[in-house]
Amino acid sequence: MTTLPPSRPAPALVTGARGGIGRELVARLRAQGHRVAAVGRDAQTLAAVPADAHIVADTTTQEGALAAMAQCQEQLGEAPALLAHCVGNTLIAPLHRSSAAQIRDVLRANLDSALFVLHAWIDALRTAGRPGAAVLVSSVVARIGVANHEAIAAAKGGVEALVRSAAATYAPLGLRINAVAPGMTETPMTAGMLRMEAMREGAARQYPLGGLQSAGQVADAMAWLLSEGAARITGQVLAVDGGFTAVRPLVK
């Protein structure tokens, strides 16, 4: 009787890898045996992320997204069956105080990048004739109205719509496409907002489970959505928010 060798874990591409969530996800995927290509715009900070390949690219442009995918295939030897797109920024300001440049920057970093990276990934796997799984990052502000978040809510709402439509289009090819929607999360991007203890305590009180999400907790959810354990899940947005968008905290 011939015994087939165990299958090799699929290669993965993580964009925004030098951010809090991206860095944590790279570590989790590599611990599971995946070869991971880490993508970011700054070569120096990206080099500090332990990964199997480091790719400097601006994925907010179509050219940058295509270049990142091509370099990933070159350095890892094949198209990444797993994709985690963690690129993004935020803007906390009412719409009437948001400049056109600020709005455009939020849409570019969050929605444009998601469209271009997902496009490049789908093309690569269609060419290779392989199944795969992708996970993008939305936000609770796309799921429930939060004051002073109009630009980022619009961008992340677009990401969620993209996930559902692309999941429907490419399910016949064996491509699963999902997203996570974190609440306030401890990352370098939120460090400035959470530096004041009053701000931190006020934010934490909004979550029924109390406290704030860690980047590692969000990365855990993303890693699961990319895993075989989530093989029957596609077109979904998983809220990682301590109950913020589903239940109200008990007021004592």
Q: Is residue 251 domain-resident?
A: no
Residues 60 and 95: their CA atoms lie apart, in Å, by 23
Q: Is the dihedral of CA 186, 187, 193, 197 positive or negative?
A: positive
Q: Tens of pLDDT along 36-62?
A: 999 999 999 999 999 999 999 999 999
pLDDT at position 185 over 90: no
In this prediction, residue 2 carries a pLDDT of 45
**147: Cα within 13 Å, side-chain hemisphere:** 0
Q: What pLDDT band is residue 210 in, cutting at 50, 70 and 90?
A: confident
Pairing mode of beta strands 175-182, 132-137: parallel
pLDDT at position 18 over 60: yes
Torsion of CA 65, 175, 27, 34, to 10 degrees: -110
Over range 140-169, report the average pLDDT. Answer: 96
What secondary structure, in 3-state letters, does 156-218 show? HHHHHHHHHHHHHHHHHHCEEEEEEEECCEECCCCCCCCCCHHHHHHHHHCCCCCCCEEHHHH
Q: Tens of pLDDT along 67-104?
A: 999 999 999 999 999 999 999 999 999 999 999 999 99
Q: Which domain holds residue 103?
A: 12-240
Q: Is residue 188 domain-resident?
A: yes
Say which CATH number the domain at 209 has.
3.40.50.720
**Six token digits for residue 50:** 């332990």
Which pTM value belongs to this model? Answer: 0.91
Mean pLDDT for the chain overall: 91
In this prediction, residue 4 carries a pLDDT of 40
Q: Is residue 4 domain-resident?
A: no
Q: Tens of pLDDT along 214-247?
A: 899 999 999 999 999 999 999 999 999 989 899 8
**Six token digits for residue 234:** 């596609």
Q: Is residue 248 domain-resident?
A: no
Q: Is residue 247 domain-resident?
A: no
Q: Is residue 87 domain-resident?
A: yes
Amino acid in the structure at residue 186: E
What separation, in Å, do the N-terminal and C-terminal C-alpha atoms of the chain show? Answer: 66
The count of domains in the chain is: 1
